[in-house]
Structure 1
Amino acid sequence: MEQADKKLMKDTVTIKTSHVFPPDANHLGTLFGGKLMAYIDDVASISAIKFARNLVVTASTDSVDFIKPIRIGDAVTLKAMVTWTGRSSMEVFVKVTSEHLLTGEKSIAALSFLTFVALDDNGKPTSVPQVIPETEEERWLNETAELRAAHRKVRKQESKDLAAFFSNKLNNE
């Protein structure tokens, strides 16, 4: 594989920080989950585009685990990076941290994995380089990705089966 067919994981890192204001929050004074999910998809897509240097589409949000509420007045920081690649697909990991701006206390607020597919100029899947991990964290994320990919395949088939079931029910109503 030529060097152009490989890219370092660290070169895909994308960071976004936002201040949580009252319109961003629910009745409990914490960031809307949907708003955080939009932030996650945004930062992850930028990471994927930086890696592929092509347009990308979100193939799936594989997981979003909300660990700790993010409160009004906190800063929320999302750090995304491509952790694994297939032929045209990329797994992107997003780590979400909250920071109480007055005390400086930081917490892991959420963790997420998403899958993106790189597209060519005709909107068809196109190949992506291999991602190369360097640090211990990067190697762990990369080495554990194949297990997550296998789970994605099973879950996707289950979703297709469920969609077929509901489609048949819709057509028979």
Structure 2
Amino acid sequence: MTREQKIANAETRIFKAVFPDSTNHYDTLFGGTAMYLMDEVAFIAATRFSRKKVVTVSSDKIDFKKAIPGGTIVELIGKIVHVGNTSLKVQVDIYIEEMYSEQRDKAITGTFTLVAIDDAKRPVKIEG
């Protein structure tokens, strides 16, 4: 399998409904909850690409472009954007979908760096 095929196969998509238990007093998704979900998607995408144990070492930049209201559906999409010797960069975008319309907007985008590790928690080479 080529690197491009591995990258395509590692793309990860998760849908979530935004319920009241995950919103703040403005009835929008907590920023920390969004970051948690993004890190989870980045972890899954990095694991699917490398098939190794990975840990997050940084969130390089997260842009909150639009508030995510309660009562909507969000789609998180994680894509490998860089492969290093022991690390991967994963871009994660969150899209808002209205439940009862075709409206869809990009709300948040961020990049996460994950490192592959061995059982002793030392960095290991990523193949591919």
- Work out whether the TM-score is over 0.5: yes
Q: Which residue does the alignment assign to 1:11?
A: 9
Q: Which residue does the alignment assign to 2:117?
A: 119
Q: What is the CA–CA distance in structure 2 between the aligned matches of 1:94 and 1:80, rounded to whole Å?
A: 4
- Say which SS state the counterpart of residue 39 (structure 1) adopts: helix
Q: Which residue does the alignment assign to 1:79?
A: 77
1:98 is aligned to 2:93: no
Shift in Å, 1:7:
5.3
Q: What is the CA–CA distance in structure 2 between the aligned matches of 1:27 and 1:56, rounded to whole Å?
A: 35
Shift in Å, 1:18:
0.4
Q: What is the CA–CA distance in structure 1 between the aligned matches of 2:125 and 2:4, rounded to whole Å?
A: 13
1:38 to 26, 36, 39: 36
For the Cα contact (< 8 Å) 1:85–1:129, is it kept in 2? no
Aligned-residue CA RMSD (Å): 1.3
Equivalent residues in 2 for 1:145-156, closer than 5 Å: none
Q: What is the CA–CA distance in structure 2 between the aligned matches of 1:37 and 1:65, rounded to whole Å?
A: 11
Could you tell me which amino acid in structure 2 is paired with residue 106 of structure 1? R
Show structure 2 runs of 5+ residues with no match. Answer: none
Larger radius of gyration: 1
Shift in Å, 1:11:
1.2
Shift in Å, 1:83:
1.1
For the Cα contact (< 8 Å) 1:88–1:126, is it kept in 2? yes
| TM-score (normalizing by structure 1) | 0.70
Q: Which residue does the alignment assign to 1:55?
A: 53
1:28 is aligned to 2:26: yes
| TM-score (normalizing by structure 2) | 0.94
Show structure 1 runs of 5+ residues with no match. Answer: 131-173
Q: Which residue does the alignment assign to 1:67?
A: 65
Q: Percent identity over the alignment?
A: 34
Could you tell me which amino acid in structure 1 is paired with residue 113 of structure 2? T
Aligned length, in residue pairs: 127
- Say which SS state the counterpart of residue 101 (structure 2) adopts: coil
Q: What is the CA–CA distance in structure 2 between the aligned matches of 1:54 and 1:121, rounded to whole Å?
A: 10
Q: Which residue does the alignment assign to 1:146?
A: none
Structure with a larger share of its residues in helix = 1
For the Cα contact (< 8 Å) 1:7–1:51, is it kept in 2? no
